[in-house]
Structure 1
Amino acid sequence: MTRVGAHTSIAGGVPNAVDEQLEIGGNCGQIFSHSPQVWQDPNVGDDEAAEFRDLNDEHDLGPWVIHSSYLVNLCTPKDDLREKSVDSMQKEVDAAEKLDIPYVNVHLGAHTGAGVDGGLDNAASALDELSIPAGVTVLVESDAGSGTKLGGDFEHLAEVLDRSSQDLDVCLDTAHAFAAGYDLSTPEGVAETVTEFDETVGLDHLECVHLNDSKHACGTNKDEHAHIGEGEIGEDGMRAFLNHDELLDVPLVLETPTEDGKSFAWNVERVRELRDTE
């Protein structure tokens, strides 16, 4: 069975993310534990955590992912930002344990002058400061690669996994990878990209896919998502990606727009239409 869902809201309480997921036809998903634009504690109550866990068990939903704050920058050379980033990540992995969520997703961030090698070292050592609970894994997400942001090159992901003492895995974002120069718009491009990922990072480290089409061309480093099959990756690329033999069991989380009269529900259904096994 295809595990596909979307990033849903915890407004009104974490269990509401489950209700929204069910409404759109999803069976896995992603949340922010708090507003991603500010430094804030997750502050998940015991009762709502228990209700969230019970609802997932009842409806066979999962896995879920917590997406870390947008303010987190693991690559930073600035001590104060590093300290805030590590503190924020520690609270995210603790919240994940409380909610029985297996993954916390994070971007590496920008090296802002430390250089690629220095930024990767900063990220790995920052992650090493975390006390990650058993049953929780931090996923390093691929990036579109604009400016000094790291993670656009698969090699960056592999290096952080290698340099860190933590047991880390990876979340591949299709729109980000495409924007970073990995062509996913054709069956041949998808095959080449998956092979390169396997040879560089290892498919055994791929625990989640952010499935998004792209509003911009391959290699532009522009991160703007489109509806599945309706962006620059397109229907042929998305179909090839969704039906690649090595990717059939990886959970798919949508971060597609809600515009043009097309909701998360439309995109979830589109994924199921494009996957031949459905």
Structure 2
Amino acid sequence: MPHLLGAHMSIAGGYYKAVDAAAEFEMNVVQLFCKNNNQWRAKAITDKDVKLFQESMAKHKVGAPLCHASYLINIASPKDELWEKSIEALGVEMERCEQLGIPNLVFHPGAFVDSSLEEGIERIIQAIDKLHAQLPDCPVTLLLETTAGQGSCIGHKFEHLQSILQGVKQGERVAVCLDTCHIFAAGYPISDEKDFKATFKEFDKLIGFDKLRGIHLNDSKKELGSRVDRHDHIGEGKIGVEAFRHIMNDKRFKKIPMYLETPKGEEDGVQHDAKNLATLHSLVK
């Protein structure tokens, strides 16, 4: 069975366009936004949108579509107005995913700003519980993303995500998406094989591989423990190619969908996505 490899692709021109673009690069999975990620408002999804998206998925045999939620959402916020607005926005995104037939919605846990880490985690738990109560039959799983830990962002320690997963009433409706750049920037070494094994032993102990539903494959422009989130091309950043060799040859990652979020564009006539995918494929023993 081949690895489940894809990238975040643009929905400009329609949701199906992201799937078509993924297929052009021979990707078998895809990540996309299901609305403009920098706006609160969202245009209604039509039956035609859904039909074209589903048809493109079937035609190209692209699976495991993953939706990335808006960057504006902050369900850890101590400010009631933003907290309520974020819950509503996340709920709308869950419903949009359900409409399109997307099983998982990944989002950043949020920032506690001028409150405390503990209060921020409690706000996240309360928000997710509220969403689950409002949408009891929604089949979409919320994926908490590991973060780099910039400012007061929550999720840069595996313990943060463990606390949320254990605190949510309907824990089976929540899982995790791991970002290689983020965990490295947060201080988890993964380049050396010994470090890689130790980091994922800790991940398995605190969160569990059964809760890992997606991986963002990104190298890092910044150093280990910098707590700065800057993505780089595979093998060209501070993480280096060896960490990705470990991932591509570890059977625990074989069935987990993996999505590039590396910089777009091209160099010498070769698209960066194609180059990054080729690098990953070349690492498989």
CA distance in 2, matches of 1:62, 1:189: 32
- Structure 2: where are the runs of 5+ without partners? none
Does 2:110 align with 1:109? Answer: yes
Q: Of residues 129, 145, 148 in structure 2, which corresponds to 1:144?
A: 148
Q: Does 1:268 align with 2:272?
A: no
For 1:18, the equivalent position in structure 2 comes to: 19
SS in 1 for 2:63: coil
User: What's the RMSD between the two structures over aligned residues?
Assistant: 1.3
Query: Aligned pair in 2 of structure 1 residues 218, 18: CA closer, same or farther (>3 Å)?
Result: same
Tell me which residue corresponds to 1:171. 177
After TM superposition, give the deviation of residue 84 of structure 1 in Å.
Answer: 1.1
SS of residue matched to 1:169: strand
State whether structure 2 residue 221 is matched by structure 1 residue 212.
Answer: no
- Equivalent residues in 2 for 1:86-165, closer than 5 Å: 86-130=87-131, 131=135, 133-165=137-169
Q: List runs of 5+ in structure 1 lacking aligned partners.
A: none
Across the two proteins, how many residue pairs are aligned to each other? 276
Deviation at 1:230, TM superposition (A): 1.4
Deviation at 1:134, TM superposition (A): 4.2
Q: 1:222 to 1:202 in 2, by over 3 A?
A: same
Tell whether 2:183 aligns with 1:182. Answer: no
In structure 2, the partner of 1:196 is: 202
Shift of 1:125: 0.7
Aligned to 1:70: 71
Using the size of structure 2 for normalisation, the TM-score is 0.93
Task: Say which SS state the counterpart of residue 35 (structure 1) adopts.
Answer: coil
Q: What is the CA–CA distance in structure 2 between the aligned matches of 1:66 and 1:42, rounded to whole Å?
A: 16
Q: Distance in 2 between matches of 1:132 and 1:243?
A: 39
- Quick one: distance in 2 between partners of 1:133 and 1:8? 29
Q: Distance in 1 between matches of 2:89 and 2:5?
A: 27
* In 2, Cα distance between equivalents of 1:241 and 1:40: 38
Q: Distance in 2 between matches of 1:68 and 1:4?
A: 20
Query: What is the one-letter code of the residue matched to 1:85?
Result: S
Percent identical among aligned pairs is 37
Change (3 A) 1:91 1:250: same
